[in-house]
């Protein structure tokens, strides 16, 4: 008899007033008892609607049944069949719009906490399993992966498991892409990312850091060197700015810069070699996960007031529901239906204020969301000493500009077919480099699809 | 690892290092830069490529000891290695087709100006070099510049070597003598480049400046290096570091460069203090 509670097991978490002063993980994870109890809420539907909602098609009811029976390692094996980064996805996937949105239990009451269970299983495995993944026998073929973010790591892992000799080229000094420079420690501990990367190395994947492909080596040179296929997973790293007056004042950051200083360069630690401004009043412009991350980092760095300034309403916030909820609990102030018009500074070029306009929602636009319309004469000033622009990113043009015949969209996204094949033979692409800024799990899905396509291509040669 | 194959103290505050980095040496061009980290947990700092040897597989950097990181870098010796060394980044200097050029270097900026002067000389351009320093002790690369320049003027603020005066005095004198330059290439402190541009604007001589702002990744990711050029926001790391000097908003660039100065000063003092303790 399943557990018929309408509510999911609550996630043990650090108290908001404690955690908004530290960088340790917010959510602490289910205990074994909680996990088993939550797993018993699953009805084990035969048609598995949840699996249909998962970009990497994890057999969700199967792993949850193993949890319910306390076979935690068996549960991990089910997940690992299709997902290469479960400890990461359990933490950062937008489950409420994917698997959990399809859960039958969600029709009346809360859906099964699939994401939390996935995290539990991955953490349990990482803590208890002694089994190191073994390097499979080589099939003698070489593949190159550009970028060590979610799509690149997934593609690398899948190819390595098939016996390919895989080399991952990373531009920064540390592998992980957005998982290390973007998503903060309190949401995704870097030790977890490190563990996943160590796992790949055990599979024989080589990771070469400090390699900016397009500069130090071109894609054509990689192909000449004997890589039979290349996967481009270079992400969407180019920050957008609004183009409003005052954006180059001191104290205005792209979210990329702010988060990179904090996460990759550890600027939050005492004695860090990388400086960061410890602002008192911070406005973060944007409503996505990146905006929430930046706001919560600013709070942890000691800001007294942190605002999220977003031009649409709460309903349209693109961030994961849990991140919005956590941000609110931590004291982040949401200024919704507000749009910045200019940033003002003092005689030293330091930010002092941001002017905003109030907005109201009009007719739906191309995205299907109601278009924000300015309310005439509603200008007001917000006193701030730091503004963080989190309004999106676009793909880096470095690879496109150095690869002849690689076609891209006008906005920079690499054009790839449903298997990830680009306009160049043997060159595949996936993740944010193709779609523009999206989610970790969609990038992983793309890496997975491309790995299969690369295998088919090399076998058919 | 990126081994230091040669270390040479050029003056009390400026050091040259030749670093083993064969892939970068193969691709580097004058005007490009690298980013390095001295140690794990260290910060990333950009330094312009001062020279490269494709056959030997080395890249030369010349740096001024201004902060904690350059202080630590300067303590490494030949045979030791850097943690990270990535490049070549940025767009190479565009020098094709130039017949006659004035190269203006200020202080450690001369390290960036030198490979450009060398490339110009190799392609047959007439090169007039003006190199400015605060005093005689700080003069660097004199012989190297002499070898690639038809004319070389060394300027010092206090007149202790070469001529007394600013680089702009020498440049104005050359222009007044009737030298017709296709281009002036100015590399040095922001204030120096600003005054060079003010001068050349009057003479209508196209002037290229090399910007060296605060940056993290050097690939267009952080946007920290942005500056206004011709009313548009540009990223020095990918759109530059060379820009049309007439179009650069120097006031904004000068303001932006000072953001972390208090932090840098403190970090440098701490690094020096630690070093003195070690020495004792």
ipTM of the shown complex: 0.89
CA distance A384 to B184: 42
Contacts of B260 in chain A (CB under 8 A): 275
Q: Give the dihedral sign, CA A387/A390/A392/A394.
A: positive
pLDDT at B207: 97
Contact, B111 vs B125, CB < 8 A?
no
Going along chain B from its start, the domains and CATH numbers come out as 2-89 (2.40.30.10), 103-257 (3.40.50.80)
Kindly state the tokens that stand for B232.
């548009």
Kindly state the tokens that stand for A162.
């098939």
B249-253: list long-range contacts, CB under 8 Å, 24+ apart. B250/B190, B250/B193, B250/B194, B250/B197, B252/A248, B252/A349, B252/B227, B252/B228, B253/B190, B253/B211, B253/B213, B253/B227
What is the percent of chain A with per-residue pLDDT over 90, rounded to a whole number? 81
Of B109, B197, B192, the closest CA to residue B157 belongs to B192
CA distance A359 to A341: 12
3 state SS of A60: helix
Of A119, A143, A106, A137, the closest CA to residue A64 belongs to A119
Contact, A41 vs A5, CB < 8 A?
yes
pLDDT at B261: 76
pLDDT at B68: 87
Which helix (H) or strand (E) segment holds residue A39: the answer is: helix A32-39
Contact at CB, B256 and A248, closer than 8 angstroms: yes
Kindly state the tokens that stand for B122.
């190799």
Provide the Cα torsion A429, A430, A431, A435; round to 10°.
Answer: 90
CA distance A295 to A273: 22
Contacts of B87 in chain A (CB under 8 A): 212, 215-216
pLDDT at B280: 47
Chosen for mutation from A243, A269, A275 (greatest number of chain B CBs closer than 10 Å) is A275
CA distance A216 to B81: 20
Q: Which residues contact B178 (CB under 8 A, 6 or more apart)?
A: none
Q: Measured between CA atoms, how close is B176 to chain A, in angstroms?
A: 37
Contact, A32 vs A136, CB < 8 A?
no
Low-confidence ranges of chain A (pLDDT < 50): none
Contact, A375 vs A359, CB < 8 A?
yes
3-state secondary structure A297-358: HHHHCCCCEEEEEECCCHHHCCCCHHHHHHHHHCCCEEEECEEEEEEEECCCCEEEEEEEEE
Pairing state between β A338-345 and A333-336 = unpaired
Q: Per-residue pLDDT tens for A74-131?
A: 999 999 888 888 899 999 888 988 999 999 999 999 999 999 999 999 999 999 987 7
Full pLDDT tens readout for chain B, 280 residues: 799 999 999 988 899 999 999 999 999 999 999 999 999 888 999 999 999 999 999 999 999 998 889 999 999 999 999 999 999 999 999 999 999 999 999 999 998 899 999 999 999 999 999 999 999 999 999 999 999 999 999 999 999 999 999 999 999 999 999 999 999 999 999 999 999 999 999 999 999 999 988 888 888 888 889 999 999 999 988 998 999 999 999 999 998 888 887 777 777 777 666 666 655 4
Residues of B with CB under 8 A from a CB of A: 23-24, 27, 37, 41-44, 68-69, 83-89, 216-224, 226-228, 233, 238, 252, 255-256, 258-260, 263-264, 267
Number of A to B CB contacts under 8 A, please give it: 105
Alpha helices (runs of H) in chain B, residue ranges in sequence order: 22-27, 68-75, 110-122, 142-148, 167-176, 190-203, 236-239, 250-257, 261-279
Residue A226 has, within 13 A of its CA and on its CB side, a CA count of 7
Q: Measured between CA atoms, how close is B41 to chain A, in angstroms?
A: 7
> What is the value of pTM for the model shown?
0.92
Contact at CB, B224 and A257, closer than 8 angstroms: yes
Cα distances from A238 to residues A173, A281, A412, B218, in angstroms, run: 18, 26, 10, 11
């Amino acid at each position: 008899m399943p557990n018929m509670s309408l509510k999911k097991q609550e996630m043990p978490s650090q108290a908001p007033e404690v955690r908004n002063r530290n960088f340790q993980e917010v959510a602490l994870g289910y205990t074994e008892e909680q996990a088993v109890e939550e797993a018993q809420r699953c009805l084990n539907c035969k048609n598995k609607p949840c699996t249909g909602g998962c970009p990497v098609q994890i057999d969700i009811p199967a792993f949850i049944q193993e949890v319910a029976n306390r076979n935690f390692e068996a549960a991990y094996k089910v997940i690992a069949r299709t997902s290469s980064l479960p400890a990461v996805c359990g933490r950062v996937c937008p489950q409420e719009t994917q698997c959990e949105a399809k859960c039958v239990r969600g029709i009346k009451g809360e859906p099964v906490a699939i994401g939390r269970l996935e995290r539990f299983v991955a953490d349990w495995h990482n803590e208890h399993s002694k089994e190191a993944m073994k390097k499979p026998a080589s099939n003698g073929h070489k593949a190159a992966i550009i970028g060590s973010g979610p799509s690149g790591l997934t593609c690398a892992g899948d190819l390595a498991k098939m016996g390919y000799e895989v080399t991952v080229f990373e531009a920064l000094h540390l592998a992980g892409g957005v998982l290390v420079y973007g998503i903060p420690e309190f949401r995704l501990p870097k030790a977890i990312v490190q563990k996943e990367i160590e796992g790949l190395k055990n599979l024989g994947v080589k990771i070469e850091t400090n390699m900016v492909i397009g500069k130090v080596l071109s894609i054509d040179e990689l192909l000449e060197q004997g890589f039979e296929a290349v996967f481009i997973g270079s992400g969407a790293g180019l920050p957008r700015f609004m183009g409003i007056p005052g954006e180059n004042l001191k104290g205005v950051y792209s979210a990329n810069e702010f988060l990179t200083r904090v996460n990759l360069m550890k600027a939050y630690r005492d004695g860090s070699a990388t400086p960061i401004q410890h602002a008192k009043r911070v406005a973060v412009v944007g409503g996505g996960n990146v905006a929430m991350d930046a706001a919560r980092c600013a709070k942890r760095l000691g800001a007294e007031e942190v605002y999220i300034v977003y031009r649409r309403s709460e309903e349209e916030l693109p961030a994961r529901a849990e991140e919005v909820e956590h941000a609110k609990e931590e004291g982040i102030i949401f200024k919704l239906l507000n749009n910045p018009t200019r940033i003002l500074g003092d005689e030293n070029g330091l930010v002092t204020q941001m002017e905003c306009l109030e907005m109201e929602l009009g007719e739906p636009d191309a995205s299907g969301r109601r278009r924000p319309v300015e309310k005439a004469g509603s200008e007001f000033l917000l006193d701030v000493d730091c503004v963080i622009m989190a309004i999106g990113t676009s793909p880096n043009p470095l690879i496109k500009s150095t690869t002849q015949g690689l076609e891209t969209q006008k906005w920079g996204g690499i054009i790839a077919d449903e298997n990830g094949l680009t306009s160049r033979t043997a060159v595949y692409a996936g993740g944010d480099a193709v779609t523009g800024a999206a989610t970790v799990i969609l990038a992983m899905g793309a890496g997975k699809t491309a790995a299969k396509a690369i295998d088919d291509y090399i076998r058919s040669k | 690892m990126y081994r230091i194959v040669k270390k040479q103290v050029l003056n009390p505050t400026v050091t040259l290092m030749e670093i083993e980095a064969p892939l970068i040496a193969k691709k580097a061009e004058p005007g490009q830069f690298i980013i390095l980290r001295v140690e794990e947990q260290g910060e990333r700092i950009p330094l312009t490529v001062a020279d490269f040897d494709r056959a030997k597989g080395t890249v030369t950097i010349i740096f001024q000891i201004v902060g904690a990181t350059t202080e630590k870098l300067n303590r490494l010796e030949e045979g030791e290695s850097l943690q990270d060394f990535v490049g070549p980044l940025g767009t190479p200097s565009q020098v094709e087709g130039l017949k006659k050029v004035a190269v203006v270097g200020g202080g450690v900026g001369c390290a960036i100006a030198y490979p450009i002067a060398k490339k110009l000389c190799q392609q047959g351009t007439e090169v007039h070099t003006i190199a400015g320093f605060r005093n005689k002790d700080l003069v660097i690369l004199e012989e190297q510049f002499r070898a690639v320049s038809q004319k070389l003027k060394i300027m010092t603020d206090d007149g202790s070597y070469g001529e007394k005066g600013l680089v702009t005095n020498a440049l104005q004198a050359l222009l007044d003598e009737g030298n017709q330059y296709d281009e002036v290439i100015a590399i040095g402190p922001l204030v120096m480049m600003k005054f060079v541009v003010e001068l050349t604007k009057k003479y209508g001589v196209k002037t290229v400046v090399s910007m060296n702002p605060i940056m993290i990744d050097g690939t267009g990711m952080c946007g920290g290096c942005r500056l206004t050029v011709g009313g548009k926001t540009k990223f020095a790391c990918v759109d530059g570091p060379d820009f049309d000097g007439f179009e650069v908003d120097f006031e904004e660039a000068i303001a932006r460069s000072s953001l972390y100065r208090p932090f840098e000063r403190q970090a440098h003092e701490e690094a020096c203090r630690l070093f003195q303790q070690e020495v004792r």
